[in-house]
Structure formats: C-alpha cells, structure tokens
Structure 1
Amino acid sequence: MELAGPTLTLRYATPADAAALFALASDAQVTRFFSWGPYTKVEQPLAYIERLAGQRERGEQLDLLIVHRDDGPIGVTGLAELSRRDRRAVVGTWLGRRWWGSGANDESKALIGRLAFDHLGLDRVGAYADVDNGRSQAALERTGFVREGVLRGWHRHGDSVRDVALFSLLRDDFARSRLAAVPTQMRGEPPQSFVVLPFSP
C-alpha cells in the first residue's frame, strides 16, 4: 500500500530504510518528547522495522514511512490505538529536523487523513502532543485538529510521567479542511485489520 501526494509518498518501511531512519532519529531534538530515542545504533531502527508487519496484521500499529520525492525518507507517520467499534484511532507523526516548518507535516497529515477517513472508514482521528511541545500543538491546530483538553499523567518517558494535550479531527472536519484539497493517489490495499467500515467517497 502506498499513498502519494504532490511531493510525498507514504509507504511501508523496509530493512533498507534503517540507515535513513537512524540518521533522522539519532537527533536528540527530534526525539525529545518521545518515549524512545534518540537512536544510538542502526540496529534500533532495524528492530523497529522488523516489528511493523506483525503489528499491522494484529491491528496494533499502522506506521508508514514519509518519503520525499527528492530527498528520500524524512520521517514516519501512522495510526494506533484503533477502536473498531468507535471507528477511531490516534495519529502520530515525526519528521527529521531539516523538514520542520517545510510543509511536509501538512502534506503527510493530508495523506494519512485520506487513508483514515476514505479507505479505513474511521470517523475520528485523535492526536497527542506534550504540553511543553508548542511546535507540535501549533502544527496540529494549523492542519485543522481541534484541541480538546489535557490528559494528566498520560505519557511515560523514561522515569517521568508527562501531561499531553489532546486533539481530534473528525470526518466532517477533514472534509472542510484544506487537507482534503491535497491531491492524493492510493495504490494497493490497506491492511484489513485496520478497515473498520468500507467507505466510498
């Protein structure tokens, strides 16, 4: 499965992408608010990649590599915390520091939104951002996500427990947003473990 936009493609990562992911996520600024990282050896992203197929099949995690048409892999986006009954999931995205503020986040959110609402049948996509991560919060609001409040003690990072701001994007929000205007081409089929309701736009 691949989703292609004007400058980016979302696709499954392969072991050949491990070196690129290591280069991107060995930057401590990139992983500052994550529960993992920074990477210190290439075996870490390789182990991550090797887990992805099983996670997809079990409906646990649907991570996709963000690939720039000229620069190759630049980050990762994906869906987790799937609730089939409630037709919702949570999106997470990270980009190498070079692509912060480049518009890559907006386009990747447009692609993952198209996947979530049009191809998986979701009604809600949530997102979290650390309360101290103003850049991430602003990026979510810029793409149309609505801030709903703060979840206290939600995210464990090492020995610390962090509060996170909660955001959401509903199907109608996406349809009205500028993300819906981004041209998107879908190739292949999404994993059936994540398809909650067949949807024809």
Structure 2
Amino acid sequence: MTANTGEETGGTARRPADAGRETCWRGQQIRLAPLDVDDAELLHAWRCDPKAIHEIGFWPRPLSSLRERIESYIATYDRDDFLVLLPDGTPVGHIALTDQDFVDGTAEIALMLAPEHRHRGLGTDALDALVDLAFGELPLHRLAADTHTDNHAALAALARSGFVREGVRRSVCLHRGRRYDLALLSLLRAEWEGLERPRSWEL
C-alpha cells in the first residue's frame, strides 16, 4: 500500500465535483468509481504533493507518462483502480487492488489521498470498502500492504481496517540521502470475516 495521509497541504489541481459520475461500490463516507484516463491530471497533481513524494516515494513524471500508465492499468486484468469520491462527486483519492493472483488468492492494496482530504477517516473508509470488494466479490484469501515505518497515518489507517503488521524490510528506500525501512502488513479472509463492522453492501 502506498498512502498519502500526512498533515501538509499544498496546491492541487481541482476538478469540479461530478455528482453524475457512475460509481460501482461504496463505503460509509465515500464512493468508488472506475479510474479513467481523464483522471490523469488530478492524480498527477496529487503525486506532486511533497508529502506523497516523501511517504510514497513517487518521483514526479510527465503528465503524458501518467496518462499512458493509467491506460495500461485499464488494459490489464491483474489490477482494479478506482477514484475515491465523496457522495457529492468530489474526488478525494485513488485506491487500487493490484497484483491480483486468483490462483493463490492474493493481491496488494495501494491508496493515495488528496492533501486537503486527509485526517478525516476517508482513508480507512476507502480501505474498508476495497477490502469488502476483494473478499466479498473476488476469490481472494490474502491482501498485502506496505508503507514506510514512519508513515504513522497510513499504519494507523491499515490497523483500523484490520491489517496486521507482519514484518519489516530493512533499509529498502533511499530518499533525501536517508535509508527507510518498509513495514509489511496483511489481512486474511478469516480475519476480515471476524471484523465487527457493516459490509459495503449493508450500508
């Protein structure tokens, strides 16, 4: 998982709320809509946020490159990408279920929130919704996530969604001349079944 949930805010490109955009899944506070190539400019602005660059490790790339990458996301069958929306259609983040392996029943989760929408519980809500999609509609057994060990907001959101910290990859990332450790987390189907919270289809 990559997460952008820190306190810093910065200028981001804003797209008008689109209350008419088709959504396919929901959480308590959010809705999920399939990611589209036209969302590239929005994601590009979020990826250029200093907190995202630091905590996720994105190196800003040209908008054209991101547009091509989103096209490849849409074309592949081993991942599903969604724009996270408020009920009024305001885009607040990007979440994805990647590296799906239906033979072994595994996948990974990635999440990025817009700077101005952090610390409102939206990340946990989006995680819960995607976890319900993964275990409620797909034959998956294990979901994995990772983030810097000092990305406390992401670690807290994952813990609230039931993810268990299972290890650390030491000195994995180089950023600003410093090495960072990567925390590894996972959630198993049996653990999800034991969570006492409403499922997305019950909301």
Query: Shorter-chain TM-score: which interval?
Result: 0.7 to 0.9
Cα RMSD, aligned residues only: 2.6
Corresponding residue number in structure 2 for 1:106? 124
Task: Give the Cα–Cα distance (whole angstroms) in 1 for the partners of residues 71 and 94 of structure 2.
Answer: 15
Q: Name the structure 2 match of 1:191.
A: none
Q: 1:161 to 1:120 in 2, by over 3 A?
A: farther
1:45 CA displacement:
3.4
Q: 2:201 aligns with which of 174, 181, 184?
A: 184
Shift of 1:108: 0.7
Residue-by-residue CA offset, 1:67-117 (whole Å, 9 max, x unaligned):
222352211111223333321111111111212111111111111111110
Structure 2 SS opposite 1:32? helix
Within 5 Å, give how 1:37-186 maps onto structure 2: 37-38=59-60, 41-55=62-76, 57=77, 59=78, 61-70=79-88, 72-154=90-172, 162-178=180-196, 180-184=197-201
Letter of the 1:124 counterpart: R
Q: Which 4+ residue blocks in structure 1 deviate beyond 3 angstroms? A: 153-162, 182-185
Query: 2:51 is matched by which residue type in structure 1?
Result: Q
Paired with 1:129 and 1:5, the residues of 2 have a C-alpha distance of 23
User: Does the residue aligned with 2:46 lie in a helix, a strand or coil?
Assistant: helix
Is the 2:25–2:129 Cα contact (8 Å) retained in structure 1?
A: yes
In structure 2, the gaps of 5 or more residues are 1-22
Identity %: 27
Q: TM-score, normalised to structure 1's length?
A: 0.76
Q: Give the secondary structure class of the aligned counterpart of 1:7.
A: coil
Q: Which amino acid aligns with 1:37?
A: W
Q: TM-score, normalised by structure 2?
A: 0.76
Q: 1:8 aligns with which of 20, 30, 33?
A: 30
Q: Report the counterpart of residue 19 of structure 2 in structure 1.
A: none
1:67 partner letter: L
AA matched with 1:10? L
Q: Which runs of 5+ in 1 are unaligned?
A: 186-201
Query: AA paired with 1:9?
Result: R
- Tell me, in whole angstroms, the C-alpha distance in 1 between the residues paired with 2:175 and 2:25: 31
Would you say the 8 A contact 2:37–2:71 is kept in 1? yes
Question: Which residue of 2 is the match for residue 25 of structure 1?
Answer: 47
Alpha carbons of structure 1 residues 20 and 144: separation in structure 2 relative to 1, 3 Å:
same
